[in-house]
Amino acid sequence: MKNKLTLIGLFFVSTYACLAQDVITTRDSQIIITKVIEMNIDQVMFKYIDNLDGSTYMFQKSDIVSIHFQNGRVELYQGANTITTSSPSHDVIVTRDSQIINAKVVAVSIEQIMFKYMDNLDGSTYMFQKKDVTSIHYQNGRVEIFQPEGVKTVQYNQNQPQNQYRTQYPNTTYPLFIQSELTSNGGLATDSEGREERLSINFGFMMGGGLIGIDLEALLGKRLGLQFGFALSGMDISINYHFSPYINSSFISLQYIHIGLGRNNVGATLGPMLNFRAKKLFQAGIGWGVVVSRGPMWTNAYKEEVTMLFQFNIGLYIPL
């Protein structure tokens, strides 16, 4: 009886070993079912799953988007960075310009993919056109590969034999080659109707160049914004760089502030500001400005020898 149990155990172990597989996805959209043998800083060595006794092959890591290991671990490659997750808890979108985005896919239509960033699930919904996306790696293991003639879906299952992949794609040869045309894309926040959120209006204390003021910001790209504001006693203008590609994210700015107008002109400063934005409404900033001009009212407000001013603001913002 003991010998029989041992044989049965060896049978299941050997069967599992034969079926175990790693899945490599390359930047030119190849999906290769392999057994990874060795990895170093720059390279990945592997054998084809249906020829484990054959030659060992090699990829440069720079040519790979991801490796899904048979034990459930996933490595995503973005430039010199490697992102590893042992038990994926989110979806991953890979774009044709090699962005790797940790996301929660909300909806997929015929032409579009709606999603939220994992670090901003309470924030805005974003949109990609399918033509700008290479693949979606869902947290349940399903992968969708997008190409001009349609969508191919692959279920990464560690116990799925190679011939099942061939059954899914009877008109292709192993390894599976999926050709795609490289393009670049955006990916700005959208409102509930799918319109991109590119503007915000901000108002509060020490904004707009005065005690109480208002600012308007417009995104010029995914992260770069231009901001202009005014108050009863001044005006400001700044160039903003957002830390994430949505308008309700924190940012750093180079800000010009003109204090006072006309006969009440105090002066002007130029300097950096670090601005925090909560997921909704609240924002605050802190920084400093180098004095670049002094007006007739300067000595009424500051000492003549002052060359730098501490600056801050606090208020609310509303995406438009």
Write the DSSP assignment of 22-74 as a string of letters: EEEEETT-EEEEEEEEEE-SSEEEEEETT-TTS--EEEEGGGEEEEE-TTS-E
Residue 173 lies in a domain: yes
Instruction: Looking at the structure, tell me whether residues 168 and 84 fall in a common domain.
Output: yes
What pLDDT is attached to residue 173? 30
Instruction: Looking at the structure, tell me whether residues 295 and 149 fall in a common domain.
Output: no
What pLDDT is attached to residue 268? 92
Q: What is the CATH number of the domain that holds 229?
A: 2.40.160
Which residue matches tokens 């790209």?
221
Residue 167 lies in a domain: yes
Residue 130 lies in a domain: yes
Do the beta carbons of residue 215 and residue 228 sit within 8 Å? yes
Instruction: Looking at the structure, tell me whether residues 149 and 241 fall in a common domain.
Output: no
Instruction: Looking at the structure, tell me whether residues 245 and 136 fall in a common domain.
Output: no
The separation between the first and the last C-alpha atoms of the chain, rounded to the nearest angstrom, is 74
Indicate the residue among 126, 155, 190 that finishes a domain.
190
CA distance 285 to 300: 26
CA distance 81 to 93: 16
Q: Which of 186, 175, 177, 215 is nearest to 199 (CA)?
A: 215
Distances in Å between the Cα of 140 and the Cα atoms of 21, 68, 299 are 17, 12, 66
What pLDDT is attached to residue 183? 25
Residue 11 lies in a domain: no
Instruction: Count CA atoms closer than 13 A to 237's CA, side-chain side.
Output: 0
pLDDT tens track for 2-43: 454 444 444 333 333 444 578 887 877 677 888 899 988 888
Number of domains in the chain: 2
Instruction: Looking at the structure, tell me whether residues 181 and 83 fall in a common domain.
Output: yes
Q: Which of 156, 240, 260, 152 is nearest to 200 (CA)?
A: 240
SS3 per residue for 177-244: ECCCCCCCCCCCEECCCCCECCEEEEEEECCCCCCEEEEEEEECCCCEEEEEEEECCEEEEEEEEECC
> In which domain, by residue range, is 241 found?
199-319
Do the beta carbons of residue 188 and residue 245 sit within 8 Å? yes
Indicate the residue among 190, 218, 251 that finishes a domain.
190
Which residue type does 286 have? Answer: I
Which residue matches tokens 């509060």?
204
Residue 266 lies in a domain: yes
Give the pLDDT of the chain (320 residues) as one tens digit per residue. 445 444 444 433 333 344 457 888 787 767 788 889 998 888 899 998 888 888 899 998 888 877 878 776 777 776 555 665 555 578 888 787 767 788 999 988 878 899 999 888 888 889 998 888 877 878 876 777 776 555 555 544 444 433 333 333 333 333 322 222 222 233 444 444 444 578 899 999 988 888 899 999 999 887 899 999 989 888 999 999 998 877 888 999 999 999 888 788 889 999 999 999 987 889 999 999 999 998 888 888 887 778 899 999 999 999 88
- Taking CA 152 as the corner, what is the angle to CA 135 and CA 143, rounded to the nearest 5 degrees? 45
